[in-house]
Structure 1
Amino acid sequence: MTSLPLAPRPLDPARRSVLEGRIRWIVAVTITYNVIEAIVAITAGRMASSAALVGFGLDSAVEVLSAAAVAWQFRAPDPHSRETITLRVIAFSFFGLAVFVTVDAIRTLLGAAEPEHSTIGIVLAAVSLAVMPILSWFERRTGRELGSASAVADSKQTLLCTYLSAVLLAGLMLNSTLGWTWADPLAALVIAAVAVKEGIEAWRGDACCHVPPGTATSTASATEPGCTDGCCTSD
């Protein structure tokens, strides 16, 4: 992939206003969906003693926090002024998720609980696998045009939910059809590992992929160390 700046051209005030409004709309939809997803996943996960399902629900809760942080940022007269704080919130939310899920998965592997079949979890994972890519693509595209590293970082959190939906679905299906109880906590550990990676990228996102408002190009975004696969890469 070729490194590109977030904003390929200057934006006039009218277009910037449209894009900022679109970001607010996207995060509102994301928050609503993920609140429902978190409640269903955590409840079903506790009922089935599923570390992967609980971890997925916690990821949804983290995504709510991430989207809320972006919404807070874009309520300011100058959203750019809140960019760094927003990225830090997103990063810490990833790290917190990783720690909790790892501990829960290890407990399950050590025999503290045995995952059971969860039809609700399977359906939830399948629905999220269809919905999340659309929300992620829309926010990422808008964030890049706007030049917002935090919006792009949040879109990656949403995309992470897509990957985790696939991992969760595989773990639940293997447990349900073949009785591989270890597949559930293993899926949870994959969720935790990906969360750490995304947290690190969000933490350094303001230095790696930041483009000041109205800037046509940014040499730094293409040359900053560690930015070869960050939010400033092309689709």
Structure 2
Amino acid sequence: MLFLFQDPLGDDHGLAYLYPQAALYREAGEGYADLLAVAGEAREGRLFLKVRLARYPNPLEGPLGFSLATVLLWLDTAEGGEETLLPGLRTPEGQGWEEAFLLTGFGAERRTPKGEKTPVRAFREGEWVVLDTGLPPGRYGLYGAVGLFDPFAPLYLRPSSPEGGPWTLAAPPGSPPVVDLLAEKPSDQVRAYETGVLQPARKGFALRRESLLAFALGGVSLLLAFLLRR
């Protein structure tokens, strides 16, 4: 595994968002838009992203085994990039994204800042939903968010409004239409909603480098011990 970023359980309510009131959502219970983790693996020379949600109700019979959530992942793969993630949410200055991936229970798409979209392969592995980015593994910045699935919206996200409704999130004016953000601590998520700036997840890539260094140093130590005994 290249990296693993975890997100707190039960924080899928934005800034006191209220879920739509249609029976579809009431009957589904809670947790279907609660992001628990995003991981990355190198397979066949490409980066595969893995997403874990708290629950996977599937009333719309999505082929990937869920149908009420939309997961958005953005990768910062180069300098500069697009700094707008969603209406009401952006990246820090100079840390924009170059590649985005939309994942629903009905498949996955790769998006560019210009709006170009290409289908990508997605599949289930137990409790994980996996997608093939087609990109080489690298030390990228990662942004993540989860909203409610809307097949007719440009980003497959149900909109928000101050008053909410049967099919609309109730949220403060100007809030992004997502209920959970990839953030290490609840306070980090609250800060992102309040400021409109989401910090990228990068620590996992650094941990991977440090782990490899520690492994290499351990190997050198074992070799020296072996030579000294001789």
TM-score range, shorter chain: under 0.3
Larger RCO of the pair (alpha carbons < 8 Å, separation 6+) = 1
TM-score (norm 1): 0.27
Question: Greater CA radius of gyration, 1 or 2?
Answer: 2
Answer 1 or 2: which has greater helix percent.
1
Answer 1 or 2: which has greater strand percent.
2
